[in-house]
A and B are shown apart, each in its own frame.
Chain A
Amino acid sequence: MADDSVAGQRVTTFRTPRRRVGVTGIGLVTPLGPDAGSTWASLLRGDIGVRPISRFDASGFPVRIAATVQDLLTLDASDDGAAALHIAHRFGLAATREALSSANLRPTPDTAERWGCVLGSGAFGLHHEQLCALPRQWAPNGRLDAGLVFADREALASYEMLRQTRAALGLWSIKRAVGALGPARTISTACASGAQAVGTAARMIRRGQADVVVAVGLDSMIDPLGLAGFCLLGALSTDNDAPQRASRPFDRSRNGFVLGEGAGAVVLEDLESAHARGARVFAEVAGEGTALSSYRVTDPHPEGRGPIEAMQAALVDAGMDPENIGYVNAHGTSTPMNDRSEANALRSVFGAKLDGTWISSTKGQTGHLICAAGAVEAAITALSLHHGRLPANINLRERDDDCALPLLRETRSEYVDAAMSTSFGFGGTNHALVLRRADVA
C-alpha cells in the first residue's frame, strides 16, 4: 500500500487490485413486511409500520406504540435447534433463508470453509416473565441472596437460560442455517451493529478470509424490559395517539424515535465469482468507514464529529467523492439531537455537493430497528440502486431549519450511480456504507 494526501485526507492506494464485493442476496423481516418483496413494495407505497403495542400490556408505560413485525406465526420455528432462541433470532433466520434463496447460492462441502457469517446483534436477556418466575424467596428485598440461589439451584431453568442471555447464541443459529464453516463474528455496537456487520463482512471478502459472507442485523426490544430501558432514557416518541405520525425524521416537531424490530440479511460475494456464475448483483459494496465520536454515551456530537469521519472514511475507501453519491439513506432517527447532528455532518462532508444528492430516512415507516437497522437500511439502499427508486422521507411536514437537507418528500424514480447508508450507535460508534450500482464500472 502507499499513501497520498488529497485535500487533507489520507488516501490508501492498493498496489494490487483488491477484491470487489457484490450484494447478491437480500432478505428482510420488517414492520412493513415479512420478506424483502413486501417490505420494498410497502416502503414505496408509503405504508407505516408503527402501531399500538399489542404483544403485551403496555398500558402502564409512557410509550405504548412501536413498529412491530406482523405475521409472527409465519416465521419458521421448526428447525431452529434451540428452545432459547429469541424472537429476534427467528427474524434473523427468516431473513437469512430468504437472502440465500435470493442469491441462489448455498455452501457445498467443498466451499463451506470459505463461507463466513457476521451478525450485528444486541444482547438479549431474560424475558419479563422469566424474571417474575425467579423464586421469590431468592430475592426477598429485590436483591439475590447467593446462599439461597446455590442451595436451591435445581429450581432454576436449564442452562439454556444462560445461553439465552448471550449474543453468541444468535451467531450459532445463523451460521448453522447457512452451513458456513469459515470466519464468524457477532458485532454489538448498538444502532451501528447491523451496518458494521455488513462492512466487516465486505472486508472479510476483500482480505481473502472468505469468498461468501452472510451479514445479518437482527433485533427486537419490543418487550417489557426493552421498552423499559428506552422509556427510562426518554428517547422514544410519546405520540401514543398518533402512531402513524410518531416517527418523523428531520421534521421540526419530531420528539423521539419509535422502537422497531426485525432483521436484514445480505449475501456478499466476491464480485468476480458472482459475475462468473451469472448471479444477479443488487449492488456493490464499494466502501465502508467507521469512527468513534468519543463525546457522550447517548448524545451525538452537535457538529457531527464521528459521523463526519465515518462518512469520509467510507468515501475514501470507495475511492469516491461526495459528488458521486446520488442518494443517502440517512440514520435519521427522529430524535431532536441525532437529526440535527447528522444534518451538520452531511453538510460538512458534502458541502455544496449536497444539492445534487437526495436524502431520506426510512425510519418514518420502519421505526428504529436498533441493532438490525444498519443491515436493513443497507439492503434498502441496495434495492434503491437496483430498482432506480429512492424511498421518501415520510412524515416530513415542516423541515427543521437545523436540518436543511435535500430531503425526498415523495418516492423518486431515478437511477443513481452510488448511494450511502449511515448508522450511528449509542456509545458513539458511527458507520457509513457506500454502495455502487451493479452496472456502474
Chain B
Amino acid sequence: MSDPIAITGTGVLSAAGEGATLLWQRLCDGDVCVEPVDEWSDVSPRRLVGRVGGCDPYEAIRERKLHKLVRRGDALAIAAVAQAIDAAKLLSHRDALAESLRAEFNARTGIFVGAPGGALADQHDFLPLIAEVGSDLPAFGQRLARRVPPTWLLRSLPNNALCHIGINWGLSGPGTTIVDDSVSGVLALIDAAEAVREDLAERALVSAHEAAIEPHALALRERHHGPFTAVARPFDESARGSPRGEGAAAAVLESLGSAYQRGATVEACYLGGACVSSSGDLLAAVDQSTVERVIQAALEDAGRDEDDLAVVIAHGDATTQGDEAEARAIAAICGDEVPVTASKWSIGHTGAAAGLVDVALAVKILRHGVVPGIATTSSIAAPCRAAAIQLGAWPIRYGTCALVLCHATGGVSAAAVIGSARR
C-alpha cells in the first residue's frame, strides 16, 4: 500500500463547460453536450462533436507573444492547469513565500502531461505550399520559408503544453509528456503521484488534453467507426461508438504533509494506479482479462479492495466489444452492486484527455456524494447487465473510493483509485 497523495485542485474544459463541478452537475442533469459544428453546416448528415465553447483558453497564457506558438489543444491544457492552480490556491501560497523559498517552490513543482502525440491537422500547414508546387520537391524546399510559418515545428511538438505550462508559471521541477492516446492522462497522473511519493517533487501539476475536431481526422475515424451522427449510448444494446470531443483536464497533486502545512483544502486523494498491456491487434477492443488485471493491480497499489469502491467510472466509449469487456470485468472483480458510470455519452471522447477528465469527475463525485448516470442509455445490452450500470443520478451509499478506467488503441489500459478526503 502506498502513501495517499492529496488532490488540492482540479480543472476541466469540455463540452460541458469550464470546471469539474459543472461537468459533474451537467452529467447529473443528464445533459448531452455534443452538438453539430456550426462551421460545417454544409456537411450532411450533420456530425456531432463535443466542443469547448464560451471561453478563450489563450487567456491563460500570460505572454501574448507566445500565443502564436501554442495550438488549441495545448492552450486547453494550459487553461485547465490555470483552473486547477486557482482552485488549489497555489499561486497565492507561492507569492506569500520569501524569495528564496519561491525559487525552491518552483524547483520542487513537477509537471506531467498527457498529450495526443500527433495531430493530423499540424501537417495541414503545408497544404498551401503543396497547392502551389504540387509534388515538386525542389520547389517545395525552395519556397518553404515563404509559405510555412517558421515556428511550425515548435507548435507541433508533443511536449509543447509541458513547455508552456513551465514557462507560464515559472515551474521547473521534474516533468514529462506521455503520448498514449486515451490512457495518456491517467499515466501522467500515476507518474506524477510516484514523483511526489518519492520526493522528486513536493507537488505536481498533471494535465491532459486533446483538440482534434477537424474534418480530416474525423473522416478517417469514420472509415473505422461509421459516421458520428448519433449520441453515444455506452453499455446500451444500440451502442455505436462515441462522437469525438475536445477537452483538457488538470489536477494539483501534493504530499499530504505539504497540503496540510499550507492549509490547503484536500479535495480528494490519489490512492494508487496501474497500467497493463494486452497482446491484441492494433485496433482490437480491450478484452475482459486485461480490464480485470488493471483493476486488480490498481486496487492492490491503492491498498484497497472492491468493498471500498463507491463508484466505477468506466471508459464507456459505447463500442460493443469494449463495453462488454468492461462490464464483465467490473462485475467479476467489483461485484454487481458498485455503481458504474461514464462521461463520454455527454461530452464525447476527449482522447488523450479522457482519463484525466474522469479523474476530475471522480473527485467531484466523492465530494458531492452523488454518482451521475448514463442518461443516453435506456436498454442495457445483455452482456453488460452483470455490472450495476447507472442510468440515473444516484447517491453514494457506501464506499469511499472511485475507480477510473481507461483503455487505448494498441492495447494499453490504465486505472486510478481516487479516495474521498473525508475518510
Residues of A near any B CB (own CB < 8 A): 1, 3, 10, 12, 56-62, 81-82, 113, 117, 121-126, 128-129, 131-132, 134, 136, 139-147, 149-151, 153, 156-159, 161-163, 165-169, 171-172, 175-176, 179-190, 196, 200, 203, 207, 209, 224-225, 228-234, 289-298, 305-306, 309, 313, 425-429
Contacts and interface: CB of A to CB of B under 8 A. Distances in A.
Nearest to B166: A294
Given A142-B127, A229-B156, A156 B144 contact: no
Interface stretch (B276-284, B329-337, B391-399): B276-284
B118 A166 contact: yes
Contacts of B418: none
A225 B126 contact: yes
B315 to A, nearest CB: 15
B175 to A, nearest CB: 5
B132, B191, B282 — which one has the most chain A CB atoms within 10 A of its CB?
A: B282
11 contacts: A59-B137, A81-B281, A123-B118, A149-B219, A162-B221, A184-B180, A188-B159, A190-B159, A200-B176, A232-B151, A426-B159
A189 B162 contact: yes
A150 B216 CA distance: 8
A317 to B, nearest CB: 8
Contact of A153 (B150, B153, B175, B223): B223
B177 interface: yes
B163 A183 contact: no
A144 B215 contact: yes
A363 B159 CA distance: 23
A132 B274 contact: no
Given A132-B135, A162-B120, A292-B171, A169 B282 contact: yes
Given A150-B40, A187-B178, A426-B163, 8 more contacts: A132-B134, A150-B222, A163-B409, A183-B274, A292-B166, A298-B154, A313-B174, A427-B154
B279 A179 contact: yes
Contacts of A146: 37, 39-40, 42-43, 215
Interface string B129-149: 111101101111110110011
Interface string B159-179: 110111011001111111111
A233 B279 contact: no
Interface residues of B, number: 98
Interface string B374-417: 00000000000000000000000000000000001111100000
B116 interface: yes
Contacts of B200: 313
Contacts of B140: 60, 128, 224, 228
Interface in B190-214: 191, 194, 198-200, 214
A149 B37 CA distance: 14
B281 A149 contact: no
A296 B215 CA distance: 32
A169 B412 CA distance: 11
A60 B137 contact: yes
B279 A309 contact: no
Contacts of A188: 115, 117, 158-159, 177-179
Contacts of A175: 277, 411
Of B115, B223, B409, the most chain A CB neighbours within 10 A belong to B223
Given A159-B283, A166-B116, A200 B153 contact: no
Given A125-B120, A131-B130, A184 B141 contact: no
Given A156-B219, A162-B221, A168-B409, A113 B120 contact: no
Contacts of A121: 117, 179
Contact of B191 (A139, A142, A200, A425): A200
